[in-house]
């Protein structure tokens, strides 16, 4: 059974099909790329997978569970986490507290315990702090744990966003244009981080990128969309040589 199975997914905005009959299968631990020109529908697909948008047609099956149209919080608990093209951190919170936010769907305490600061509250807080620090160490961010997230350089903010997403213990991690705005050195380091995350955590990754070369070098399989529909799918060589992909990118530049 595939980890993620998307069948004929579609959504309409103002009478126009933003995504039409999109289908995809991702296996456990697979590194998959989703590419296409600007405005092709990539982020709209992510928004349907994470419950931000409810599709007009089709279904989304995650590890045997139909999550189509579920609330984003329920989808997160089911095992999908994501990052965003425009980094979304809690800038006035510390690096450590940003990761702890991702742990709240795993470690819980009662409202009364939190208000009165009962022993159970402190016990759970210590558990979360330990888990968060472990993640920060993996990403080389432990020395910045008590800095504000906004003080981190751009590349480290990307790492922090991925660490926070992993704190939710996902089965599938969605990365929305993680290389956007990065210099070549940061992009190379990001590629290493993505491989490390897949191998270390055993999580499947679906990666959106406009940069075709970045995805070609990184991903095992790739799906290409244009105007909301799939135009090519396969390994890097198959996709790279598809005339429809070449035409889409030349037309989108």
For position 112, what pLDDT does the model report? Answer: 47
Average pLDDT, consecutive stretches of 10 residues, N- to C-terminus, the chain (253 residues): 95 93 96 91 96 96 97 94 92 95 67 54 76 93 96 92 94 93 86 92 92 88 94 92 82 49
* Triad 201, 206, 211: Cα angle to 5°: 120
pLDDT for residue 15: 87
Q: What is the pLDDT of residue 250?
A: 62
Residue 143, SS3 per DSSP: helix
Q: Return the pLDDT at 253.
A: 42
- Residue 89: per-residue pLDDT: 94
Domain boundaries, the chain: 89-152
Say what the alpha-carbon torsion angle 212, 213, 217, 220 is, to the nearest 10 degrees: 20
Check residue 209 and give its pLDDT.
85
């Amino acid at each position: 059974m595939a980890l993620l199975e998307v069948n004929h997914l579609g959504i309409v905005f103002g009478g126009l099909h933003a995504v039409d009959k999109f289908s995809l299968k991702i296996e456990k631990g697979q590194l998959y790329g989703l590419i296409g020109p600007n405005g092709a529908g990539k982020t709209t697909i992510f928004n349907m997978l994470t419950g931000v948008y409810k599709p007009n047609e089709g279904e989304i099956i995650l590890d045997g569970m139909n999550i189509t149209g579920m609330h984003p919080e329920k989808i997160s608990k089911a095992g999908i986490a994501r990052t965003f093209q425009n980094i979304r951190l809690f800038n006035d919170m510390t690096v450590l507290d940003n990761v702890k936010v991702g742990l709240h769907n795993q470690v819980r305490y009662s409202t009364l315990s939190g208000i009165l600061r009962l022993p159970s509250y402190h016990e759970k807080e210590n558990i979360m702090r330990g888990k968060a620090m472990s993640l920060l160490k993996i990403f080389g961010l432990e020395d910045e744990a008590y800095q504000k997230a906004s003080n981190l350089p751009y590349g480290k903010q990307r790492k922090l966003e991925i660490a926070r997403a992993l704190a939710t213990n996902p089965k599938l991690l969605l990365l929305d244009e993680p290389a956007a705005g990065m210099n070549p050195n940061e992009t190379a380091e990001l590629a290493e981080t993505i491989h490390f995350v897949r191998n270390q955590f055993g999580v499947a990754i679906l990666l959106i990128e406009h940069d075709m070369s970045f995805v070609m070098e990184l991903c095992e399989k790739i799906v290409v969309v244009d105007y909301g529909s799939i135009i090519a799918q396969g390994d890097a060589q198959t996709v790279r040589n598809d005339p429809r992909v070449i035409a889409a990118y030349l037309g989108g530049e």
